[in-house]
Homo-oligomer: A and B are copies of this chain.
Amino acid sequence: MAWAVKPDGQSSLQSVKPLSMNAKNYLKAYSQKANKFLDLFFLKKKALAKKIDPDLGKILQVFLDSSKGGKRARGALTVLGYESSGGKNFEAILPVSCGIEMFHNFLLIHDDIIDKDRLRRGKPTVHTVYAKKRGEHYGNSKAIIIGDVGAFLAYELLLSSNFSKERTLEAVTKLNEFLLKTGYGQLLDIDYDFKKQISWEEILKVRTYKTAYYTIVMPLTVGAILAGAPKSVLSAIESYGVPVGIAFQLVDDILGVFGSTRKTGKSNLSDIRDGKKTFLYAKALELLGAPEKKFLKRWYGAGDVGEKQIREIKKIIVSSGALDYSQKLAEKLVMKGKRYVPKITMDKKYQKVLESLADFIVTRES
C-alpha cells in the first residue's frame, strides 16, 4: 500500500487509487495514520501528566494501548463522512476522527467492566490489568476513572478542532446527542441481561441505540457536519447507517458465538457463558420447539455451563434456523442501507467505499 503514506507523510486518504479503494483498504490506510497521530498526541499528554505524577504517564499509556489493535472503524468513518461530503482538509479531520476513536475506547472500558470481559482485541482489558495488582474492586475503580479521563481527552480532541467554531460546536453537540443515545442503549442492555425471556424487538431496541447509531451514523455524521454537508445528507446517512449498523450487530452476535477467537481477539464462549441477550439467542428461543427451548434457557448464561453444553447450544442455534435467519437479515439490511448511498454523496469513488463498507460488515470475520 504505497499510497497510504506519501514520502512527505502529508498525504490524505484521498490519494487512495480508485481501483484499490474499498472499505478494507480505506480502514487499513486510516488506521496507520490514526495510530501515528495518537502516538504523538499521547506523547505530549504523557509528558504533561508525568509532571504531576509519573504514574499518570503510565496510566495514559495503558489507555492508549487498550485502543490499539482495533479496526479504528469509527475514526475511518469520520474521515469518510468528511471526504464524501467534499472535505479536503485531512490534517484537520484526523484529530477529530481520533477523538471519535478515543470516545469508543472510553465506552469499551466501561462496557468491559460491566460485562466482566477479560479479553479485548486479544489483550487483557483495562480493569483486568489493574485487578491483577490489587483485586477486582481496585481494577474496576481504576478502569472507571481511566475511562472518564479518556472521555475528557476525546472531548479535547474535538473541541480543539481546526474547523470553524460554528461547525466545531455543531459537530460536538451532535456527537454528544449520539453518546446520550448510546448511554441509554447501554442502560437498557444491563437490565436485559437479567431477563429470562427477551424478545427480538427488545434486542432490536437496545442494539439500535447502543450500536447502530453510534457505530455508523455517528462518525459519518460528525465528519459530514465538519465538511458543511446539508441536512438532506445527514438524513441519508441515518437511513444508510441504521440498517447497516443493525447488520453490523447481527454479525457481531454471530461472531460472538461462531467466530474464531484468533481472528476476533475475544472469546467465542463468553456470550453463551454470560447469557448475553443477542439476536441469535432471541431468534433461537422464538423458533425452537419445547425441549430445545428448555435446554437453551437452562444452560444459556448458567453458572454451571460446561463445554459440552456450549457445543450443544451452538448446534441448537444452527438447527433452529436462527443463525441462517440472522445472516440473511444482515444481508437484507445491508442491501436496504446501500440504496441511500447516492443520496449521501455524488462522488462515485466514495459511493464505492460506502457500498463496500456495508458489504464488508456482513463478510467480516473479526
A residues engaging B (CB < 8 A)?
49, 52-53, 55-56, 59, 107, 110, 113-114, 116, 134, 137-138, 140-142, 144-146, 148-149, 151-153, 155-156, 159-160, 165-166, 168-169, 172-173, 176-177, 179-180, 183-184, 186-188, 190-191, 194, 205, 209
Contacts and interface: CB of A to CB of B under 8 A. Distances in A.
Contacts of A194: 134, 138
Nearest to A133: B194
Nearest to A150: B183
Nearest to A155: B176
19 contacts: A49-B184, A52-B184, A52-B205, A53-B188, A53-B205, A55-B187, A56-B187, A110-B145, A110-B148, A113-B140, A113-B144, A141-B190, A149-B187, A155-B176, A156-B173, A159-B169, A159-B173, A159-B176, A165-B166
A228 to B, nearest CB: 15
Contacts of A169: 159, 165, 168-169
Contacts of A168: 169
Contacts of A209: 52
Interface residue SS majority, chain A: helix
Pick the 4 closest A-B CB pairs, nearest first. A149-B183, A114-B141, A152-B180, A159-B173
Contacts of A176: 152, 155-156, 159
A206 to B, nearest CB: 9
Nearest to A153: B180
Given A159-B173, A176-B152, A114 B144 contact: yes
Nearest to A107: B148
Q: How many copies does the complex hold?
A: 2
B183 A148 contact: yes
Nearest to A115: B141
Given A52-B184, A146-B187, 12 more contacts: A52-B209, A56-B187, A113-B144, A114-B144, A141-B190, A148-B183, A149-B187, A151-B151, A152-B176, A159-B176, A165-B166, A169-B169
A166 to B, nearest CB: 6
A145 B190 contact: yes
Nearest to A151: B151
A183 B106 CA distance: 13
A172 B159 contact: yes
Contact of A188 (B56, B141, B152, B173): B56
A123 to B, nearest CB: 20
